[in-house]
Structure 1
Amino acid sequence: MTIPRSVCVYCGSRAGAKPAYAAAARDTGEMLATRDWQLVYGAGDVGLMGEVARAAQTAGGRTFGVIPEHLFPREVGKRDLTTFVVTETMHERKKVMFMNADAVVVLPGGAGSLDELFEVLTWRQIGLHEKPIFLLNTEGYWAPLGSLIDHIIEQGFADSSLRELVVTVDSVAELETALVSAFA
């Protein structure tokens, strides 16, 4: 019997400057549903969060959303999810999302997405988990982050193994292949 998988997707509560970001979010949601992988995300119905969730739902996928009380109005909490959890704090939100996922995918996003990424990356770096972490580099969005990670390593603040803890993929098709491999 196959173990059902869940993928945590961190992404923007805004759509971003390029239509390709929303298209990649929709494609990601659809891909997860097609693979019968549950989407775990921030429970918002705005920006890329809304795009990925609606696409997963439209394709018949399972959705697990987690939102803190104080963001419910701003992120328009999406109540029609398979599982909907309201937390007191952002910290609780991040913990519940991470604990209910087998892998992490980061789409384009802002400071919140970076906060989520760096928390799980740090946890992986210090050995608290071995879940795979993927950056979906839509139209080169994450290229500056790759340069920053290289800079951190070059300046002696991290071992070169830091690069190996995050896998960057350029398309949803590459993401799907990478997830299949990670779940094998």
Structure 2
Amino acid sequence: MKIAVFCGSGRGVNPIFADKARQLGQLLVQQGHELVYGGGKTGLMGVIADSVLEAGGKVYGVMPLTLTDKEIQHSGVTELFIVTDMHERKAKMAELADAFIAMPGGIGTLEEIFEIWTWGQLGYHYKACGFLNINGYYDQLLGFIDTVVNQEFMRPEYAQMMQVSADAEELLELLINYQAPAQKWK
């Protein structure tokens, strides 16, 4: 499988985030998966890409032209796709990937995984999505999702589309065994 990983272009304050990015990269290769990501060499993005490459795996980066200088594109990836803008970036990543993981990151990471999750809810794809909830990073967000469901702005089955684990191996297993719910408007 090709797994898209959305994560920070920074490393965050806690070194565990980079450690877990490195471990996820190694695990992807061990299990025969390939990485699709944002194409940068900085932050967690760079850590996971380097980890996959060092383990002998394949890495596909997707970066908008306007960010090639700002994010400092990774020159060692298997293939780097330069696209027009962020909309095209997400579309290309969605096209390439069979499943999606959000690791710790900022608002861009959230925007990316939420759009992919929404596309799944709308039936644009039937691919698995997951949060790698390192050190409880997404706990408050997941609590908010419970509020969204409890206030009936989202059906429980669509909230359950998002697989969640603090353990990368368990999360990959959940993604591999994922079964999409019935289409929303069927």
Classify the TM-score, shorter chain: over 0.9
With the length of structure 2 as denominator, give the TM-score of the two structures: 0.92
Matched, 1:93 2:117: no
> Which ranges in structure 1 are unaligned for 5 or more consecutive residues?
none
Residues 31 and 176, structure 1, Cα contact 8 Å, conserved in 2: no
Aligned length: 179
- Distance in 2 (alpha carbons) for counterparts of 1:159 and 1:180: 23
2:24 aligned residue (20, 24, 28): 28
1:44 aligned residue (40, 51, 65): 40
With the length of structure 1 as denominator, give the TM-score of the two structures: 0.93
Question: Deviations for 1:17-64, whole angstroms, at most 9, x for unmatched residues?
Answer: 111111111111111112221100000000000000000000000000
> Counterparts in 2 of 1:1-184, with a 5 A limit?
5-182=1-178
Q: What's the C-alpha RMSD, in Å, of the aligned pairs? A: 1.3
Amino acid aligned to 1:24: K
Question: Deviations for 1:110-156, whole angstroms, at most 9, x for unmatched residues?
Answer: 10000101101111111111100011000000111111111111122
- Distance in 2 (alpha carbons) for counterparts of 1:160 and 1:174: 22
Residues 136 and 166, structure 2, Cα contact 8 Å, conserved in 1: yes
- Distance in 2 (alpha carbons) for counterparts of 1:61 and 1:123: 28
CA shift for structure 1 position 178: 2.3
Worse overlay, 150-159 or 91-100: 150-159
- Distance in 1 (alpha carbons) for counterparts of 2:87 and 2:75: 21
CA shift for structure 1 position 182: 4.2
> Which ranges in structure 2 are unaligned for 5 or more consecutive residues?
180-186
SS at match of 2:130: strand
Residues 134 and 175, structure 1, Cα contact 8 Å, conserved in 2: yes
CA shift for structure 1 position 97: 0.7
- Distance in 2 (alpha carbons) for counterparts of 1:31 and 1:22: 14
Amino acid aligned to 2:167: S
- Distance in 1 (alpha carbons) for counterparts of 2:133 and 2:141: 10
Kindly, what percent of the aligned residue pairs are identical?
Answer: 36
